[in-house]
Chain A
Amino acid sequence: MISSVFSWLGDGANWSGPDGITHRLVQHLEYSFGALVFVLIIGIPLGLYIGHTGKGGVAIAGVANALRALPTFGLLLYLVIAYSGNLPTDWIYLGPALFVLVVLGVPAVLSNTYAGVQNVDPAARDAARGMGMTGMQVLWRVEVPNALPLIISGIRSSLLQIVATATIAAYVTLGGLGRFMIDGLSQRDYAQMAGGAVLVGLLAVALDLVMAVIQRYVVSRGITGRYALPAASADVVAAESSVSV
């Protein structure tokens, strides 16, 4: 069983052309990063605002938890059936797919950004104010650098969830690596199915490593010492855990 998977992956013919692995991989990355851009545009400013002002934190935690319970696959199919008549032809499937991926990705970025800013040592914030910094200066020079480890880990888990879930886009006739799993299933071709699964798994692990490297080099060295002891509060557990479909 396993050797047939490797021979499928090793067959050059499976890599080229519009149905080939290379093109499907590019599509998968397009969906994922396309959705991630919207996630960042929505999640980061909102998270910074809530963390900085302290307004609406409870509401956001509630919404983020409720969104976790929303079955992404069901939402995608529902949106396609219910709104396909109202969308331009190119967007009938792509629109709902991107929307679902954004809905999936926002909570991790939003709640981590908010938790990161909120968890900044109050003494550091007070000291910054005492030095005469304005609210904006406190935000950009103290709170954001201190919150950066959590913000980036939020982006990291959000990206992983999106990449994992982008596979189900194939069910509604879109491309991406999920194509191999869905087609393999309907053609009873286990090698193709498992080959697709291996590729998505490798992609997720590779992107996670890239994000780990980014996290290491972007975060100020004065702050990384903070992570020597594992954080253990219910908030942080909730903020750092993610779902991958």
Chain B
Amino acid sequence: MINYLKNNPDNVSSWFFTHLWMSVLPVVIGLIIALPIGWVASRYRWTYPPITNLAGLLYTIPSLALFILMPSILGTKILSPVNMVVALTVYSLALLVRVVADGLNSVAPDIRAAATAMGFSGIGRFLRVDLPIAVPVITAGLRVATVSNVSLVSVGALIGVPQLGSLFTEGFSRYIPGITLLGILLCLALALVLDALIVLGSRVLTPWQRAVAKR
């Protein structure tokens, strides 16, 4: 395992960074799209069931199947990384839409009323009151989406996109357990670091939570 790392540092580090952006980018795009849709689902209650049901249906489709079907939907090449990024964005979006809507629904009506009384309205109230209060619920969803993406990206090694999953297949084809183990450990490390960063970000964004806990 150590030898492999010593002999192929360039390969491993480029796979690591490919893995990193392929895991993170879909969550970022997914969140940007999920915010307005989640807002609609929370603001207009009748849209909540159809939106979350559709999201649930998308989430049901196995990712390897979605990776493979992407070329026929997008017209891309089978081995193009775009397939995986789009497929993972669909998953992140499907997960986050519901989380954003639930997070916004968790804002207590009296807080909304107080904000309105203080002169907040429309987009200003959404950005400065509702969204910050929904942060803990949304970050819980972001953690799940990011950590699962790290695992899902590695399956892309099957369809030939080189990233940490390539260590799995290389270890398997050469029958050297150490190479595969190296891939597993790097995936775990990546997932745990990203998870910790999201938790940290959530703490920075919600200082009042610690203020209450201290009392």
Contact = CB atoms under 8 A, between A and B. Distances in A.
Interface stretch (A10-18, A44-52, A228-236): A228-236
Given A73-B165, A243-B152, A245-B152, A237 B144 contact: yes
B105 A232 contact: yes
Most buried by A among B60, B139, B167: B60
Contacts of A238: 140, 143-144
Interface residues of B, number: 60
User: Which of A70, A163, A229 has the largest number of chain B CB atoms within 10 A?
Assistant: A70
Where chain B touches its partner, the secondary structure class is helix
B198 to A, nearest CB: 12
Contact of A65 (B59, B147, B151, B167): B147
Nearest to A180: B68
Contacts of B65: 164, 167, 181, 196-198, 200-201, 204
Nearest to B134: A232
B168 A234 contact: no
Q: At the interface, is chain A mostly helix, strand, loop or mixed?
A: helix
Contacts of A168: 64, 155, 158
Nearest to B169: A77
A82 B188 CA distance: 19
Contacts of A74: 154, 165, 167-168, 180, 183-184, 187
A182 interface: yes
Interface in B167-195: 167-169, 171-172, 175-177, 180-181, 183-184, 187-188, 191-192, 195
B117 interface: no
B101 interface: yes
B104 to A, nearest CB: 9
A131 interface: no
A187 B149 CA distance: 28
Contact of B175 (A81, A185, A196, A205): A81
A38 interface: no
B60 A181 contact: no
A75 interface: yes
Contact of A205 (B60, B102, B169): B60
A204 B61 contact: yes
A224 B138 CA distance: 26
Interface string B35-71: 0000000000000100010000101111111101101
Interface of B: 48, 52, 57, 59-66, 68-69, 71-72, 78, 95, 99, 101-103, 105-106, 136-137, 139-141, 143-144, 147-148, 150-152, 154-155, 157-160, 164-165, 167-169, 171-172, 175-177, 180-181, 183-184, 187-188, 191-192, 195
Interface of A: 1-2, 5, 65-66, 68-75, 77-78, 80-82, 160, 163-165, 167-168, 171-172, 178, 181-182, 185, 190, 193-194, 196-198, 200-201, 204-205, 208, 229-234, 237-238, 241-245
- The 6 closest A-B CB pairs, nearest first, are A164-B62, A69-B191, A197-B65, A243-B148, A234-B140, A232-B102
11 contacts: A68-B147, A71-B184, A77-B180, A81-B175, A81-B176, A168-B155, A181-B68, A194-B69, A232-B106, A238-B143, A241-B141
